[in-house]
């Protein structure tokens, strides 16, 4: 598995090896041994899957507070997403900054978003299917969010605000400056 850091080095892009022949392909998409060899000591406890019927669907920016904070390992099994991680660690030199990457089934890449980051994505193709592993269980009481298009974040989303498809919950998220519970 190839692992590379993004501009905020705690966020990583992973590319599992893919072996193909006339029958199709095989890929080991997660290996605890490979993660540990790379210094990534994570224990995933839950897998989640989402299907977004329309391109321009935005999910996020989400995070969970301790003691239910989550690291996430996300991959796309159909379609593509513009994926974003925003540093919300108040003592971090990159607080309020973000990194983004295109994660797609065609590129066979993954993104690792650590605890302390708000995470979201925008689908780039219809019928995009995402699978992600998390290191803690979902806890509605600890679930928080940041407004996806907060101008202070400077995220260049690939969809206009009026065209984005969001949940009612995500439309009500506060801007980063208004969020009272961060890391």
The residues annotated as belonging to the active site are 62, 132
Distance between CA atoms of residues 128 and 51, nearest Å:
6
Distance between CA atoms of residues 148 and 142, nearest Å:
18
Helix count and strand count (H, E) for the chain: 2, 13
Which class for 162: exposed (0-12), middle (13-18), buried (19 or more C-beta within 10 A)?
A: exposed
Residue 5 phi/psi, 5-degree rounding, is -85, 150
């Amino acid at each position: 598995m190839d692992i590379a850091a993004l501009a905020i080095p705690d966020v990583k892009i992973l590319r599992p090896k893919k072996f193909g022949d006339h029958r199709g392909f095989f890929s080991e998409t997660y290996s605890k041994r490979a993660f540990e060899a790379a210094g990534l000591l994570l224990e995933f406890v839950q897998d989640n899957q989402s299907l977004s019927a329309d391109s321009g669907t935005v999910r996020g920016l989400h995070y969970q507070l301790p003691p239910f904070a989550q690291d996430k390992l996300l991959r796309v099994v159909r379609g593509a997403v513009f994926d974003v991680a925003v540093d919300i660690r108040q003592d971090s030199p990159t607080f309020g900054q973000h990194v983004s990457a295109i994660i797609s089934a065609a590129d066979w890449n993954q993104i690792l978003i650590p605890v302390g980051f708000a995470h979201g994505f925008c689908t780039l193709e219809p019928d995009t299917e995402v699978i992600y592993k998390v290191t803690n269980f979902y806890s509605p009481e600890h679930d928080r969010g940041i407004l996806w298009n907060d101008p202070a974040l400077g995220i260049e989303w690939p969809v206009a605000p009026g065209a984005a498809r969001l949940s009612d919950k995500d439309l009500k998220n506060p801007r980063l400056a208004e969020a009272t519970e961060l890391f």
